Amino acid sequence: MAYEIIVATNVAIAILFALSLNVITGFCGQVSLGHAAFLGIGAYTSAMLTKAGMPLVLSLVPAAVLAGAVGMVVGLASLRVRHDFLAITTMGVAFLFVGIVRKQDALGGEIGIAGIPAPAFGRPGLLVLSVVCVVAFAALAVAIRRSWAGFAFESIADDEDTARLLGIDVPRFKLFAFVVGTAGAGVAGGLYAHQVRFIGPDSFGFVESVTVLAMVIVGGIGSVWGVVVAAALLSMLPQWFQLVDDYKLLLYGALLFATMRFAPDGLAGIATRALRRVRGAA
């Protein structure tokens, strides 16, 4: 049972991480290749605070706030760039984060932070907390998608220039997407740190950013339920097949290519078309 709880918690954290990127990339069309940096910010913040005596649940708040604040800074710096240049900029943020952590002894440097306290409520409690965070963030994402902000995000993703002509404050909504998405990643990072109880610079590198991007694209860009399903499946693959874990970057790269080439709307699009055929046949 303990193993199943660990796996289920990993899946829940992966879903939360993927949903957070979906707000930025799926809703607002801002491609980020450095999202793992914000997972790392949340992980290091929560780990250091709990080692200082703060309860895990409370430590998630500053983890989200700090990750969201850095996300706002990155968003401000990214307002004048689009598409490929935005992807390169966010990739640079990830490398910058890893480089800073490696040089800071207060953050454990190359060695990382070990001995992160186990949750007072045990692993079953951590699973429940992770699921609660996933449900809360998914509900927030759905609410945003159905609100005026969702309409603004969709307009920006389709065509920024047209969105401006419609009177949409593009910089404001871009920043909003970055703050919400990176704050969600910060919470996922805090949960992750107490799940594995050891974190280091290599835990938040480029591979993790590509992995979460693959989850969003395979699930269906902008689809909440599609991303949930894809994140669950892709995070479970290494548990089912050891070979997947050994060639994770290669597999996820191939999945990205295949999805963009043959099913650009991901699992959500495939399911929607299949449902329409069933209804048409009926």
- pLDDT tens across the length of the chain (282 residues): 688 899 999 999 999 999 999 999 999 988 888 899 999 999 999 999 999 989 999 999 999 999 999 999 988 887 777 766 777 888 888 888 988 998 888 888 888 888 898 888 888 899 999 999 999 999 999 999 999 899 999 999 888 888 888 888 988 999 999 999 999 999 999 999 999 999 988 889 888 888 899 899 999 888 999 999 999 988 887 766 666 666 777 777 788 788 888 888 888 888 888 877 777 765
Count how many domains the chain has: 1
Q: Report the pLDDT value the prediction gives residue 115, as an integer from 0 to 100.
A: 87
Asked whether residue 57 is assigned to any structural domain, the reply reads: yes
Asked whether residue 251 is assigned to any structural domain, the reply reads: no
**How far is the first Cα of the chain from the last one, in angstroms, to the nearest whole number?**
43
Q: Report the pLDDT value the prediction gives residue 94, as an integer from 0 to 100.
A: 85
Asked whether residue 267 is assigned to any structural domain, the reply reads: no
Q: How far is CA 252 from CA 67, 144, 256, 266, in A?
A: 26, 28, 6, 14
Dist CA 101 CA 51 (whole Å): 18
Q: Report the pLDDT value the prediction gives residue 131, as an integer from 0 to 100.
A: 97
Q: Report the pLDDT value the prediction gives residue 126, as an integer from 0 to 100.
A: 95
What three-state secondary structure class fits 168?
Answer: coil
Q: Are 178 and 31 in contact (CB under 8 A)?
A: no
Q: Report the pLDDT value the prediction gives residue 194, as an integer from 0 to 100.
A: 94
Q: Report the pLDDT value the prediction gives residue 250, as an integer from 0 to 100.
A: 77
Q: Report the pLDDT value the prediction gives residue 246, as an integer from 0 to 100.
A: 67
Q: Report the pLDDT value the prediction gives residue 129, as an integer from 0 to 100.
A: 96
Structure tokens at 87: 């992807």
Dist CA 32 CA 88 (whole Å): 8
Asked whether residue 86 is assigned to any structural domain, the reply reads: yes
Asked whether residue 256 is assigned to any structural domain, the reply reads: no
Q: Are 97 and 40 in contact (CB under 8 A)?
A: yes
Asked whether residue 257 is assigned to any structural domain, the reply reads: no
Q: Are 59 and 190 in contact (CB under 8 A)?
A: yes
Q: Are 211 and 248 in contact (CB under 8 A)?
A: yes
Asked whether residue 141 is assigned to any structural domain, the reply reads: yes
Dist CA 191 CA 204 (whole Å): 14
What three-state secondary structure class fits 32?
Answer: coil
Asked whether residue 227 is assigned to any structural domain, the reply reads: no
Q: Report the pLDDT value the prediction gives residue 46, as an integer from 0 to 100.
A: 96
| Structural domain boundaries enclosing 97 | 2-205
Q: Report the pLDDT value the prediction gives residue 133, as an integer from 0 to 100.
A: 97
Tell me the H-state helices in 78-205: 83-103, 122-146, 148-158, 160-165, 170-196
